[in-house]
Amino acid sequence: MKKDNETMILAIETSCDETAVAILRDGVKLEANVVASQIESHQRFGGVVPELASRHHVEQMTIVLEEAFRQADMTMDEIDVVAVTEGPGLVGALLVGISTAKALAFAHQKRLVGVHHIAGHIYANRLQEEFQFPIIALVVSGGHTELILMKEHGLFEVLGETRDDAAGEAYDKVARTMGLPYPGGPEVDRLAQLGQDTLAFPRAWLEEDSFDFSFSGLKSAVINTLHNAKQKGIELKQEDIAASFQASIVDVLVEKTFRAAQQYKAKQVLLAGGVAANRGLRTAITTKFADQNIVLSIPPLWLCTDNAAMIGAAAMIAYQKGNQADWTLNANPGLDLEMYGKR
**Contacting residues toward ligand KG4, per CB under 6 A:** 16, 141-143, 168, 171-172, 183-186, 189, 273-275, 277-278, 305-306
Which partner from the list ligand KG4, Zn ion, none does 172 bind, CB cut-off 5 to 8 Å by kind?
A: ligand KG4
Q: Which amino acid is at 341?
A: G
How far apart are CB 21 and ligand KG4 at their closest, in Å? Answer: 16
Nearest approach in angstroms of CB 108 to ligand KG4 is 29
CB of 179 to ligand KG4, least distance (A): 15
By beta-carbon distance, which residue lies closest to ligand KG4? 274
Q: At its nearest, how many Å lie between ligand KG4 and the CB of residue 141?
A: 3
| 140-148, 187-195, 216-224, 242-250 -> range binding Zn ion (CB under 5 A) | 140-148
- When CB distances are held under 5 to 8 angstroms depending on the partner's kind, the choice from Zn ion, ligand KG4, none that residue 92 binds is none
Q: Are 19 and 38 in contact (CB under 8 A)?
A: yes
Residue 69 contacts by C-beta under 8 Å, 6 or more apart in sequence? 23, 32, 75, 76
157, 148 contact by CB (below 8 A): yes
Bridge partners of 22, per DSSP, are: 11, 33
Shortest gap between Cβ of 299 and ligand KG4 (angstroms)? 11
Site for Zn ion in 239-258 (CB under 5 A): none
* Torsions phi, psi for 192 (to 5 deg): -60, -30
Minimum distance from residue 145 beta carbon to ligand KG4 (Å):
10
Return the H-helix or E-strand segment holding 72: helix 50-72
Q: Which is nearer to Zn ion, 25 or 173 (CB)?
A: 173
For residue 311, give the nearest of 123, 134, 75, 148 by alpha carbon: 123
Query: 55 or 176, CB closer to ligand KG4?
Result: 176
**CB under 5 to 8 A by kind: which of Zn ion, ligand KG4, none does 97 bind?**
none
User: How far apart (Å, rounded) are the C-alpha atoms in residues 306 and 50?
Assistant: 16
- The residue (of 27 and 273) whose beta carbon lies closer to ligand KG4 is 273
Task: Tell the smallest beta-carbon distance from residue 117 to Zn ion (Å).
Answer: 6
- Burial class of residue 81 (count of CB atoms within 10 Å of its CB; 0-12, 13-18, 19+): buried
Cβ proximity to Zn ion, 252 vs 277, nearer residue: 277
**Residue-by-residue DSSP string for 311-339:** HHHHHHHHHHTT----TT----TT--HHH
- Look up residue 14 and give its amino acid: T
Q: Is residue 86 within the footprint of Zn ion (CB under 5 A)?
A: no
Out of 141, 244, 278, 332, name the contact with Zn ion by CB under 5 A: 141
Partner touching 189 among Zn ion, ligand KG4, none, CB below 5 to 8 Å by kind: ligand KG4
Q: Which is nearer to ligand KG4, 93 or 269 (CB)?
A: 93
Of 114 and 185, which CB lies nearer to ligand KG4 in the complex structure?
185
Q: Which is nearer to ligand KG4, 92 or 186 (CB)?
A: 186
215, 266 Cβ separation under 8 angstroms: no
* Residue 277's binding partner out of Zn ion, ligand KG4, none, with CB under 5 to 8 Å set by partner kind: ligand KG4
Which of 13, 31, 212, 306 forms a contact with Zn ion (CB under 5 A)?
A: 306
Output the CA torsion sign for 66, 68, 70, 72.
negative
Cβ–Cβ < 8 Å for 148, 137: yes
Sign of CA dihedral 127, 141, 277, 131: negative
The H-or-E segment that residue 261 falls in is helix 238-263
Q: Does 162 bind Zn ion (CB under 5 A)?
A: no
Q: Which of the listed partners (Zn ion, ligand KG4, none) does 258 bind, with a CB threshold of 5 to 8 Å by partner kind?
A: none
Whether the Cβ atoms of residue 314 and residue 120 lie closer than 8 Å to each other: yes
Give all strands (DSSP E) within 61-154, no chain letters.
81-87, 111-116, 135-140, 145-150
* Residues that contact Zn ion, how many (by CB under 5 A): 2
| Interaction site with Zn ion (CB under 5 A) | 141, 306
